[in-house]
A and B are shown apart, each in its own frame.
Chain A
């Protein structure tokens, strides 16, 4: 079997607080991304999904764990040693309005990674940026425009062009369409899918929107309070979810049609990451809670459909679905 593009093992990020308490923002995450796939990372605010993205790209240092990019652990590398690898992994942020420098032209923004990495000079640089703009569906006339002259969708395309400048292998997309209107979101989603197949890109797609994830991802990992609680192929996660939290998330989604309100499937709020409950961290809100759940922390187990739950239904044989 080939080496996965990205392999994360036992990843943790702890932030100490005054008084000796510790926020466990990411608390033992294992994830594998194979080259060319699109993995969705879903969960509610504060679950740690964006922190996982920043850790994986070494934008913030991990407290523990390994991050293997094409087999090499990048967690202990110095910034200098990391630099040649950075071009292979790029991040797209949620808010394109904040991700572009308002005083720089589109050309200057998109050319920046080429400058930093010393790739392409002079006319070659201009030609490269022009090609990149064309690849994200923007005409050459946009080269000398400023961000305020662009719509939200166009700005996000510029951000994507900039991320593509160094021909990365991995794109981490952190809520890439959440700041956009739905009519524009559909354009960007369509474009991202097309881009992946054209350039053989691998996506780590972070989103709170399950319908979006269902459309663009091959596999989905569900996070709750710093941990992955379920991970499976996209079809299985939505048609046969095994974790009660995943089920509650799916049940909470309001379809775009007259529907009535779902009977609130979960009570209470997500606990504070500085006070993670003992045993299963979901137990205090879990409808299936048993005595064992408040004592023992379930591990993520299974072959292709992994789940961390003492009450989960057994995994169905691999061939039963995609």
Chain B
């Protein structure tokens, strides 16, 4: 391993789905570098491709999906790895926590059994030791009365506890990268704060790298130092969080920020972005945002803008300079 090598380097990644209506290009030529120890947020609305990007990292796409391009974990290419080798990457290197723990946990197995299986799949320990470690893990994710919870089934736990159990299972194998896809979206706000605090503490204590995926700029803003904004399968802006929120550049980023109602600013009326999210069966030509963009010119409909460096951020917009002016 070279010291200057990023933990994750995604290059030219595209994800396509064959559907009866034609080919959907859910992710379109995405480049993304994540350094060890970073907390990167991936934000976007439905159809932005953020979840498909995450699934493509560990080969979890649906059967009609195909990923092309390159996904390198510490230099090792993951795309095209045989399933057996991918399985070793999942969990031990890259762990994923999903929005709904009810669908990610096995409903017919106790929390304890699922934790023990995960621990024993990735380390040679006997059942009793694994059981002790499982209880330690539940305590680490602040599940009260861990010994009892180990014997319970997922449906016996509240949403918040279930998500904690899911996080314990994800981390038990000791991954380097934690991908959390909308980890708190199904939870109530008071529970959301508890779970985000837990994720932040675990990331710090275990030196994890975090890729947090959310549609919620509040969740992203709470945890991430760097934010990648996606729209219709493409990365439109990639910047340090303070830069992105204080001086957003891409017209979509600007529109997204203006569209969120802010409790602390009651005088700010949420401003809609005109139009709607494009159909990815027939995405707009050129820049995929151009039909909704207030700054669009002819060039935007013809030429896909590349990500380029503009005033300390990466942005894919022909009119980035005008947007910042």
Contacts of B200 in A (CB 8 A): 261
Per the bound structure, the CA–CA distance linking A182 and B45 in Å amounts to 7
Residue of B nearest to A183 (CB): B273
Q: What are the residues of chain B within 8 A of A270 when measuring CB–CB?
A: 188
Q: Considering the complex, which residues of chain B in the window 245-265 have a beta carbon less than 8 Å from any beta carbon of chain A?
A: 245, 255-264
Counting chain B CB atoms within 10 Å of each CB, the highest count among A215, A257, A270 belongs to A257
Which B residues lie within 8 Å of A215 (CB)? 261, 266, 269-270
Judge whether B79 is part of the interface by a CB distance below 8 angstroms.
no
The answer to the question of B284 belonging to the interface, with a C-beta cut-off of 8 Å to chain A, is: no
CA distance A154 to B241 in the complex (A): 33
Q: Is the CB of B272 within 8 A of A184?
A: yes
Known interface pairs A151-B276, A265-B190. Does A255 touch B262 (Cβ–Cβ under 8 Å)? yes
Q: How far is the CB of B187 from chain A (nearest CB, A)?
A: 9
CA gap between A253 and B192 in the complex, in Å: 9
Residue of B nearest to A154 (CB): B276
Q: Chain B, 257-291, contact with A by CB distance < 8 Å: what is the 0/1 string? A: 11111111010011111101100000000000000
Q: How far is the CB of A321 from chain B (nearest CB, A)?
A: 13
B218 lies within 8 A of A254 (CB): yes
Cross-chain contact A258 with B188 (CB below 8 angstroms): no
**A310 interface residue, CB < 8 Å from B?**
no
**Residue among B160, B193, B223, B242 having the largest count of chain A Cβ atoms under 10 Å:** B193
In angstroms, how far is the closest chain B Cβ from the Cβ of A280? 17
- Would you call the interface of chain B mostly helix, strand, loop, or mixed? helix
Q: Are B222 and A261 in contact (CB under 8 A)?
A: yes
Evaluate contact between A256 and B222: CB separation under 8 angstroms: no
Say how far B35's CB is from chain A's closest CB, in angstroms.
19
Contact of B269 among A190, A253, A254, A265 (CB under 8 A): A190
Cβ–Cβ contact B217 & A208, under 8 A: no
In the docked arrangement, what's the CA distance between A44 and B266, Å? Answer: 22
Residues of A within 8 A of B222 (CB): 254, 259-262
CB-based nearest A residue for B270: A186
- For B153-193 the 0/1 string (1 means CB < 8 A from A) is 00000101100000000000000000000000000111111
Q: A238 and B266: CB pair below 8 A?
A: yes
Task: List the B side residues contacting A189 at CB < 8 Å.
Answer: 261, 270
A269:B160 contact, CB within 8 angstroms: yes
Q: Which residues of A contact B241 (CB under 8 A)?
A: 258
- Bound Cα distance A189, B261 (Å): 10
Does B119 count as interface, using CB distance less than 8 angstroms? no
Q: Is A99 located at the chain interface by the 8 A CB criterion? A: no
Most chain B CB atoms below 10 A, which of A187, A238, A251: A187
Closest to A253 in B: B263
**B215: Cβ under 8 A from any A Cβ:** yes
Report A-chain residues with C-beta under 8 Å of the C-beta of B192: 252, 254
B196 within 8 A of A: yes
Q: Are B219 and A254 in contact (CB under 8 A)?
A: yes
Given the interface pairs A183-B255, A184-B276, A185-B259, the reply to whether A252 lies near B190 with Cβ below 8 Å is yes
- A166 near B: Cβ within 8 Å? no
From A183, A209, A259, residue with most partner B Cβ within 10 Å: A183
**Across the interface, which residues of B come within 8 angstroms of A259, CB to CB?**
218, 221-222
Question: Smallest distance from the beta carbon of B146 to chain A beta carbons, Å?
Answer: 15
Cα–Cα distance between A210 and B264 once the two chains are bound (Å): 10
Instruction: Report which residue of A210, A261, A270 has the largest number of chain B beta carbons within 10 angstroms of its beta carbon.
Output: A261
Query: In the complex where A45-B188, A184-B276 touch, is A255 in contact with B263 (Cβ < 8 A)?
Result: yes
CA distance A162 to B271 in the complex (A): 25
- Chain B residue numbers with a CB within 8 Å of A64 are none
Residues in A whose Cβ lies below 8 Å from that of B193: 251-252, 254, 261-265
B216 is an interface residue with CB less than 8 A from chain A: yes
A235 proximity list for chain B (CB < 8 A): 266
Min CB gap A175→B, angstroms: 13
Interface residue ranges of A179-218 to B (CB < 8 Å): 181-187, 189-190, 208-212, 214-215
Q: B40-77 CB contact bits vs A (8 Å, 1 = yes)?
A: 00000110000000000000000000000000000000
Interface pair B277/A151, CB less than 8 Å apart: yes
Interface residues of A in 198-251 (CB under 8 A from B): 208-212, 214-215, 235, 238, 248-251
9 nearest interchain CB pairs?
A254-B218, A186-B272, A44-B188, A187-B272, A183-B273, A211-B261, A181-B45, A186-B270, A256-B217
A-B contact pairs, 5 of them (CB 8 A): A44-B188, A181-B46, A214-B261, A254-B221, A270-B188
Contact residues of A with B, CB < 8 Å?
44-45, 151, 153-154, 181-187, 189-190, 208-212, 214-215, 235, 238, 248-267, 269-270
